[in-house]
Structure 1
């Protein structure tokens, strides 16, 4: 069982996603549904992902964050902001090429009091496999290093 959670708030035209603890695959269905919800709204001026309380984050979650950035640039021409104060998380983001698709800042910002946990979503194994595949294909597209790192996993998921 994951010890992490993702919280969400919308305040004054800003969508905030706060990742707390160990954020893993088990939270990805709720995250993906929230990403879809954000882009059906289209009435916002900023997206902030707060990773200041994130202990670890898996590659599927990173792939969904990359999807969020790509959709944001395509649909509204906005580069989302990631807030990270932990060196290991910052290093991970930079190694994945996130500095090219996000504004990464190292200074905490005030977080809305109205954050609520994303609801858990039970998904079939096939739905989860498709989400994992999509997330890793997105990560592979960010840079050559990611392409090399995730090629075998993507190939295995496509064969399954």
Structure 2
């Protein structure tokens, strides 16, 4: 049974919790992008970030890039390294393969969250806005380390060319 793609969010005492479920593909990334923008602009006050990927069955490079952006946000704000929960072997292989363990404290066990979370709605992005979202995510991946740079720089270059950047 495939879990539908969903994003949930809660902020409890300035600790922000993001739960990503199902197949995480760029076609459904606008809600996550908007949430990231609200965190960066300080519209949402956040002193600590926790991400739950326990119900994620697939995660594409755009979502991985958004995770990298969240880690960079925490670093820039001098916040603790974000915590990422994931019990999914395939997802974990990808996280470690792209060196996200350098940017996150990865905990391979279920979360014990005891509060309700609100669903994050998708946003209506134009084709240009969606392209820029994908570009930003891949730029964050490239910035994470040299291994990712060699893997994703061609994607960044192609996106920039297509978007006229």
TM-score (norm 1): 0.91
How far apart in 2 are the matches of 1:44 and 1:122? Answer: 25
Rate the CA distance shift 1:77–1:11 in 2: closer, same or farther, 3 A: closer
Give 1:103 deviation, angstroms.
0.7
Give the equivalent residue in structure 2 for 1:126.
128
Give the equivalent residue in structure 1 for 2:6.
5
Give the equivalent residue in structure 2 for 1:139.
141
Give 1:158 deviation, angstroms.
1.0
Contact (CA 8 Å) 2:16, 2:49: kept in 1 or not? yes
Give 1:42 deviation, angstroms.
6.3
Deviates more, 1:11-20 or 1:110-119: 110-119
TM-score (norm 2): 0.88
Contact (CA 8 Å) 1:3, 1:23: kept in 2 or not? no
Give 1:19 deviation, angstroms.
0.7
1:80-105 per-position Cα deviation (integer Å, ceiling 9, x unaligned): 10001111111110111101111101
Picking from 36, 50, 60, the partner of 1:48 is: 50
1:48-89 per-position Cα deviation (integer Å, ceiling 9, x unaligned): 100000000110111111111101111133211000111111
Rate the CA distance shift 1:112–1:31 in 2: closer, same or farther, 3 A: farther
| Aligned residues: CA RMSD | 1.7
Give 1:38 deviation, angstroms.
2.7
Give 1:10 deviation, angstroms.
1.3
Give 1:112 deviation, angstroms.
4.1
Total equivalences in the alignment = 159
Contact (CA 8 Å) 1:6, 1:23: kept in 2 or not? no
Contact (CA 8 Å) 2:84, 2:107: kept in 1 or not? yes
Rate the CA distance shift 1:144–1:7 in 2: closer, same or farther, 3 A: same
